[in-house]
Copies of this chain bind each other. A is one copy, B any other.
């Protein structure tokens, strides 16, 4: 019983997610969030709890949507190496044209929170582990298909995770598509077997 909610919680959360993604946590006042969500403070606190709770919910939503979609691409391709190539291709597209020009919410938040909020840091760690695991699986597949040079293998996943985090940082200074492609291509070329001359 009682009055029904006049807004969609997930829609509002998406708006908050967008703001946190663009501006960071400390630099986004609750007032700005309320304005963007078209909600009064009371409604926000009733629905989400504190500002930190709202942020936590936004990070969770980011992991379940944006991040999950990207990671799924890694192992949804016909070959291991191709999965990696497609992952990076879409990442770069989103960094040039789309929302990833703001970097990655988790990378941004890791930098902002790792030293002061162990609970959030643990969430970010889960994300990194997922990414690493998917990279390792793709590399294992690529190796079994003879796509990798000797010495490269699942252990190389850590390097790819670092490259992605680095690209997320660099994306914030709006580099050209070519520069980003160069980064990804160089990283993958270092793992792939030498191509036969065309």
The answer to whether A15 has its CB under 8 Å from any CB of chain B is no
The answer to whether A75 has its CB under 8 Å from any CB of chain B is no
Among residues of B, the one whose C-beta sits closest to the C-beta of A22 is B115
Residue of A27, A158, A168 with most partner-chain B CB within 10 A: A158
CB within 8 Å for A186 and B156 given contacts A24-B112, A116-B23, A170-B165: yes
Among residues of B, the one whose C-beta sits closest to the C-beta of A151 is B189
Interface-lining segment among A33-41, A49-57, A64-72, A100-108: A100-108
Q: How far is the CB of A143 from chain B (nearest CB, A)?
A: 14
Q: Are B155 and A186 in contact (CB under 8 A)?
A: yes
Query: Could you say which of B27, B166, B170 contacts A116, with CB atoms under 8 Å apart?
Result: B27
Chain B residues near A26: list those with CB within 8 A. 24, 26-27
The answer to whether A159 has its CB under 8 Å from any CB of chain B is yes
Q: Are A112 and B112 in contact (CB under 8 A)?
A: yes
Q: Are A173 and B24 in contact (CB under 8 A)?
A: no
Q: Are B186 and A115 in contact (CB under 8 A)?
A: no
Cα A156 to Cα B22 with chains together (Å): 30
The answer to whether A32 has its CB under 8 Å from any CB of chain B is no
Q: Are A111 and B165 in contact (CB under 8 A)?
A: no
Query: Could you say which of B165, B179, B182, B194 contacts A166, with CB atoms under 8 Å apart?
Result: B165
Chain B residues near A168: list those with CB within 8 A. 169
Chain B residues near A194: list those with CB within 8 A. 150-151
Among residues of B, the one whose C-beta sits closest to the C-beta of A155 is B182
Closest 9 CB pairs of A and B: A190-B190, A166-B166, A162-B166, A165-B166, A159-B186, A114-B172, A26-B26, A165-B169, A111-B111
Q: List 12 A-B contacts (CB under 8 A).
A: A24-B112, A111-B112, A112-B112, A115-B172, A128-B173, A150-B194, A158-B186, A162-B163, A162-B167, A162-B169, A165-B166, A190-B190
